[in-house]
Amino acid sequence: MKYAGIDIGTTGIKALVVEENGKILDLFDRSLKVYNPRPAWSEQKPQDWWEGVTDILKSISHKYKIDSIGLSGQMHSLVALDKDGNVVRPAILWNDQRTTKECQEATQILGGERNVISEVGNPILEGFTLGKILWMRKNEPDNFKRIKRIMMPKDYIAYLLTGEIGTEWSDASGTACYDVKSKKWDLKVLKSLEIDEGLFPPISKSYSLRGMLKASLAKDLGWKDVKVVCGGADNAVSALGIGVFRPGDCMVSVGTSGTVVGVTSSTEPDLEGKLHYFNHVVDGTSYYMGVMLSATGSFDWARKMVATNDSLEKIEEMVRNTAPGSKGLIFLPYLNGERTPHRDPHARGVIFGISSLSEKADIMRSVIEGVTFGLRDSFELVKKRVDMKSVKMTGGGSNNLEWVKIIASNFKVPIEIPEINEGGAYGAAMLAAVGSGKKFEEVSKWIKVKNTVEPEKTWSEFYDSWYYEYKGLYNDLKERFKATDK
């Protein structure tokens, strides 16, 4: 049997063809355009996703017969459909910031943030789906009246592939109107905010069958009896794709943004609202997640500023030859504000401690150390809620072994790097296999560890004190950030 895993991301669509033993046979990708009609607004055309997916499927069909398709996709983004299944307006994306007022008003109606978290498991944040719905009702009433169904991106693609409407628990978790504990749409929230529960699709398990590929599509592709499995939200599916799905498993993802995910069987959210609490794609598990907004985003910015002509290998070498502490430099990685733990949109990036001794290598190492401290903020919070048994790392940062060693020394645990590091697309292929009859225990054998990086004890001791200074620097500046954010 052969499985296709398709991940609908923000900047592109990625797809893999995987054999029954987990071996990757082929990889396909298509780029996507993000539209920014106003500052802090972020939208995409769902038609672009569909054209990219169908183009990829055609390319796959020229070489392979597929038995089932699994899906992964960006969380939170709002796809609104009319009575005929047509898109009402461009999708409002997860990183769109237009809904602050609506989120605040909804939180007040529901009795304050702590009550909201107790009810649904998370605060109502600008990125989540609920605020976008409320914004449409207030600002685009004619469009809002046309809405008959609300979906997330990968569910819209599943609908076009099968004709069946639905979602699953991991993506529903990021809407702010779904009770993560009971795995149901929260009717109390919807009623209080006067939103019709009929707009929301039925919820099923992430590995359950959404439907069969439409006969017309199957005929065009030369396939027969192809299953389409529900799939899941990108972070959950990426975690599955590197073997992080049992309680105690932890994932550190160092991409443009950075996340720390800790898998749990607990049904208790973080009432302080510093950590997200979402359902995983595996029965009986959820996960706590901390998010920093500029991880390799900070690294790429610094590289562009001071190391444009240096290869990644050269940068890793210069960082390796620079001592911890970067000759007194501390970098705050808040280029676009920060989420965990500060939830501070006013925070900004800082390189502190520059002197005549500072060199390019010091700046690059300080940026890596600052991003690591940002990840440590999340790790320390997740560690309080999850009994960590193993930590795996994924994302572009995992290719820099010096960076991995810095993270391991800060976290004081070994960091495992998986052999296959293809994120959501690989996890989606795993869900396609489970949806076709395999057990999670079987597909988990696909995961192999390529490398394990141990913490350096002397570094750990030093970084404890340097992390204290990092946190103090933010506390010293947080009011100044707010005062100067014009």
pLDDT of 162: 98
User: How far is the C-alpha of 292 from the C-alpha of 259, rounded, in Å?
Assistant: 6
**How many of the other CB atoms lie within 10 Å of CB of 147?**
20
Q: What separation, in Å, do the N-terminal and C-terminal C-alpha atoms of the chain show?
A: 57
DSSP state of 201: P
| Answer CATH for 243-419+456-486 from 3.40.50.150, 3.30.420.40, 3.30.565.10, 3.20.20.370 | 3.30.420.40
Structure tokens at 307: 């190391």
Task: Measure the CA–CA gap between 161 and 15, rounded to whole angstroms.
Answer: 15
On whether the CB atoms of residues 4 and 429 are closer than 8 A, the answer is: yes
The CA dihedral of 90, 72, 257, 312, to the nearest 10 degrees, is -120
The two three-digit tokens of residue 23, written as one number = 């071996």
For residue 157, the tally of other CB atoms under 10 A from its CB is 26
Q: What is the assigned CATH class of domain 2-235?
A: alpha beta
In the chain, how many H helices and how many E strands?
Answer: 17, 24
**DSSP, res 246:** S
d(CA 243, CA 250): 9
Query: Mean pLDDT per 10-residue run, the chain (486 residues)?
Result: 95 95 96 91 96 98 97 96 97 91 97 97 94 98 98 98 97 97 96 98 97 97 97 95 96 92 96 95 96 92 95 96 97 92 91 96 98 98 95 92 97 96 93 95 93 96 98 96 86
CA distance 164 to 224: 18
Please check whether residue 5 is in contact with residue 72, taking contact to mean a CB–CB distance below 8 angstroms.
Answer: yes
Q: What gap in Å lies between CA 399 and CA 405, rounded to an integer? A: 11
Reading the block at residue 74, the tokens are: 């960006």
Whole-number pLDDT of residue 278: 98
Peptide bond into 341 cis (omega under 30): yes
- Beta strand 167-168 with 203-204 is parallel
Closest CA to 336 of 118, 450, 451, 485: 485
Q: Is the dihedral of CA 395, 398, 399, 400 positive or negative?
A: positive
376 is written with which tokens?
């440590």
Q: How far is CA 166 from CA 74, 96, 201, in A?
A: 16, 24, 5
Give SS3 for 116: helix
Predicted TM-score of the model (pTM): 0.93
In this chain, the answer to whether the domains covering 2-235 and 243-419+456-486 adopt an identical fold is: yes
In single-letter form, the type of residue at position 276 comes to H
Two structure tokens written together for 431: 């869900």
What residues does each domain of the chain span?
A: 2-235, 243-419+456-486
Q: Which tokens in the block code for residue 361?
A: 């290598």
Spatial contact of 245 and 280, defined as CB atoms under 8 Å apart: yes
H or E element at residue 364: helix 360-385
Helix boundaries (H) for 122-194: 129-139, 141-146, 153-162, 169-172, 187-192
